[in-house]
A and B are shown apart, each in its own frame.
Chain A
Amino acid sequence: MFSMRLRSKVGVIVGRTAARGLAIAKRPGTTLPGYLAERLSATVLGDLMRDQSYTSKIVITGTNGKTTTTRLVSKILEANGEVVVSNLSGSNLYRGVMTTVLKDKHHQQDNKVLVLEVDEASLPRVCQSVRPTHLVVLNLFRDQLDRYGEVSTTQAFIQQAVDASPKTELILCADDPWVAMLGRGRTASVEYFGLDLNDLQALPHDDAGDYPLSPETHQPLIYSQRYFSHLGKYAAQDKSWSRPQPTCVVTDYKAQSNQVNIDITMQKKQHKVVSPLVGIYNSYNIAAAFLLSARLKVADDTVLSAIEQATAAFGRQEVISRNGVEYQLFLIKNPTGFNQVISSSFRAKPKDREGTLIIINDNFADGRDISWLWDVAIEDMKLGKQIVVSGVRAYDMGLRFRYAGIDCQVVTSIPHAVLQVSEGNKSVKVLPTYTALLEVRKLLGLTLGDIS
């Protein structure tokens, strides 16, 4: 035991030194310090957590919306006067989490909260060390299947973390059956959020859902309404299991181009929420943050004004103006995320002189498999005249458009593609995969350090 503690101490010192060194060298260093510390002691994160005192430890996971929800929660808690320690750079694997805790300089603060976005596969290990007070699970979609296999595999990771955290309060999405089933058998400390929107329908070509069986009797689930992917109102054929009743419900949704007005109903009280985060998927993120804040007893007014001011995270509907052209960036990672971008931004007639640029890379961080492009409802996109596709797998995207009966130009080099699509246009919607997003932001003069 003594030697393990000592190894952890050495690990912490090495990790912190690395973090300082990287800071002096002006390098981001979101994982290296954690990596070094972990090499020296496997239990370093757990040992570090015992040394730190946080009033709440919040972990946010799910396929889509982790970064946005983490940002929302952080803004709300900051507005509430708390010192927020968070991995806002999106470094959400075990080492990234460890680096965040290693770099936490607020040792003596007593109103300190930890807000972490955590990758699904890292969740069991992180929960074991961090022992979160609250765990938010947003959704589970097919994503990077080439790394983890199937949705059920990812669900099993999260179930394992949940089972090992009986004291953790769960905040779960009621509309996603994969997530809702995590709360089964939990009598206390579980709350759900969801939508109740009668007019909302999935895109005609939204075929990206993965439908679990009822966990009770293994019967198929029947949907009375489907919002998108496999999210909606469902019940098992034999009614043995159904969507749990959410306590925090989005009861109205109205979108303009740069703002949404939503109603959130909780305990019979209706709240008018204004947010720059457009899209139904963001309403789920807002509802999750709202419910969590209520559980943390943050005053409603504080929550509402913080939500109103919380802008989109890095690459999520991010707007950049350069040389008289307005670029809006939409990170695409998986079919459901892409379909949600289509629902929120490609269903109306495009603006005059508006171009579209789609960039598909297949580097390790993007996922090597690009099959998922064929699960996207490309046929439902309303597009302007100029559509450019780019990236390492530009021709695969070109092929996808051809089979959807849509003409596009293929320009594999990303700088040339940006030039091409900017020509004669006032605005450009850019849909890049992860590594392509980094390259496009660099081309537009932004770096990781610009995340606010």
Chain B
Amino acid sequence: MTKLTLAYLYPREMNTYGDRGNVICLQKRLEWRGYKLDIVEHQPGDKLPVQVDMVFMGGGQDSGQAVIDTDFKRVAPWLRELAEANVPMLTICGAYQLFGHSFEMLDGSELQGIGILDVTTRAQTARLIGNLHIETEDFGTIIGFENHSGRTYLGPRAEPLGRVTMGAGNNGEDKTEGTRYRNIIGTYSHGPVLPKNPRLADWLIGRMPGIMSTKLEPLDDPYIDAARASADARPR
């Protein structure tokens, strides 16, 4: 059985709103196709894994983001290298913000990001909470749930992940949601995002270095269409 490796950054501090479900989803979708996905949980202070096929980091509470800050700056050069090598990454909410240039706090002070994604975020008091639907070119409609107080703005080099059809998305102003750079996805979508959006999950899998040359078998996906339809019918 071919073995692949996913680096799960800060599972204790950066996992809220069921973001771990994305890792469960990737692991199972690979397992059903005859691959084994090893999950390396990276905690502050840990040695970095030598070879990875994907990186995942979820959203966290403010206290969690403070704990990882120093370690995250330490691993930033490694992440930049992987990014340029087209390793797929999924970053949700707090992770999406930290992968950007900066996060401006309410008191005007600035938290530095690692600048892999060309986005900046500003804190606001009112949270943007509710069901979130976005239209994308490569992954169809993405159905999720957002819950964030940061407003994220795309820089000149940034491409949005999609266009909001329900909800607020990046900032509630310009109808954009998330961003894409090489094989990296940044998004505010919890839900978690991958189980109900298998096109996105399989796109990420297809870009893992250990898989790339192989054609992915389509999977029998019971419940997904019905789960998407029931989520689609719910109010904001």
B18 cross-chain contacts in A, Cβ below 8 A: 371-375
Known: A151-B61, A403-B195. A374 touches B66 (CB 8 A): no
Interface presence of A399 (CB below 8 A): yes
Interface presence of B62 (CB below 8 A): yes
* Cα-based distance from A151 to B131 in the complex (angstroms): 21
Q: Which residue of B lies closest to A335 (CB)?
A: B18
* Cα-based distance from A151 to B61 in the complex (angstroms): 8
Within the complex, what minimum Cβ distance (angstroms) separates A353 from chain B? 26
The answer to whether B20 and A371 have CB atoms under 8 Å apart is no
A145 cross-chain contacts in B, Cβ below 8 A: 16-17, 147
* Cα-based distance from A213 to B64 in the complex (angstroms): 8
Within the complex, what minimum Cβ distance (angstroms) separates A118 from chain B? 23
The answer to whether A374 and B24 have CB atoms under 8 Å apart is yes
* Cα-based distance from A243 to B132 in the complex (angstroms): 40
B192 cross-chain contacts in A, Cβ below 8 A: 371, 374
Looking at B18, B62, B149, B195, the one whose CB has the most chain A CB atoms below 10 A away is B18
Interface presence of B190 (CB below 8 A): yes
Q: Which chain B residues in 121-151 approach chain A with CB under 8 Å?
A: 127, 129-131, 145, 147, 149
Contact indicator per residue, chain A 265-308, by CB within 8 Å of chain B (1) or not (0): 00000000000000000000000000000000000000000000
B24 cross-chain contacts in A, Cβ below 8 A: 374, 403-404
Within the complex, what minimum Cβ distance (angstroms) separates A432 from chain B? 17
Interface presence of A416 (CB below 8 A): no
Known: A146-B129, A151-B61, A402-B223. A372 touches B17 (CB 8 A): yes
The answer to whether B230 and A395 have CB atoms under 8 Å apart is yes
A209 cross-chain contacts in B, Cβ below 8 A: 12
The answer to whether A142 and B16 have CB atoms under 8 Å apart is yes
A396 cross-chain contacts in B, Cβ below 8 A: 196, 227, 230-231
The answer to whether B147 and A393 have CB atoms under 8 Å apart is no
Interface presence of B215 (CB below 8 A): no
Q: Which chain B residues in 173-229 approach chain A with CB under 8 Å?
A: 190-192, 195-196, 222-224, 226-227, 229
Q: Which residue of A lies closest to B44 (CB)?
A: A220
The answer to whether B67 and A220 have CB atoms under 8 Å apart is yes
Within the complex, what minimum Cβ distance (angstroms) separates B13 from chain A? 7
Within the complex, what minimum Cβ distance (angstroms) separates A243 from chain B? 18
Within the complex, what minimum Cβ distance (angstroms) separates B149 from chain A? 7
Within the complex, what minimum Cβ distance (angstroms) separates A211 from chain B? 6
A392 cross-chain contacts in B, Cβ below 8 A: 230, 234
The answer to whether B16 and A150 have CB atoms under 8 Å apart is yes
B231 cross-chain contacts in A, Cβ below 8 A: 393, 396
Known: A371-B18, A371-B145, A374-B18. A399 touches B190 (CB 8 A): no
Interface presence of B21 (CB below 8 A): yes
Interface presence of B102 (CB below 8 A): no
Within the complex, what minimum Cβ distance (angstroms) separates B66 from chain A? 7
* Cα-based distance from A334 to B195 in the complex (angstroms): 20
B191 cross-chain contacts in A, Cβ below 8 A: 371
Interface presence of A394 (CB below 8 A): yes
* Cα-based distance from A211 to B229 in the complex (angstroms): 35
The answer to whether A393 and B230 have CB atoms under 8 Å apart is yes
Partner of B227, one of A147, A369, A372, A395: A395
Q: Which residue of A lies closest to B193 (CB)?
A: A371
The answer to whether B12 and A218 have CB atoms under 8 Å apart is no
Q: Which residue of B lies closest to A364 (CB)?
A: B235
Known: A369-B147, A371-B145. A399 touches B227 (CB 8 A): yes
User: Residues of B with Cβ closer than 8 Å to A?
Assistant: 11-13, 15-21, 24-25, 28, 44, 61-64, 66-67, 127, 129-131, 145, 147, 149, 190-192, 195-196, 222-224, 226-227, 229-231, 234-235
Known: A152-B63, A211-B13, A218-B66. 19 other contacts (CB 8 A): A149-B147, A150-B61, A151-B61, A207-B11, A207-B15, A210-B16, A210-B61, A211-B12, A368-B130, A372-B18, A374-B18, A375-B17, A392-B234, A393-B230, A393-B231, A394-B230, A398-B223, A400-B195, A412-B230
Q: List 7 A-B contacts (CB under 8 A).
A: A362-B234, A369-B129, A374-B19, A374-B21, A392-B234, A393-B230, A398-B227
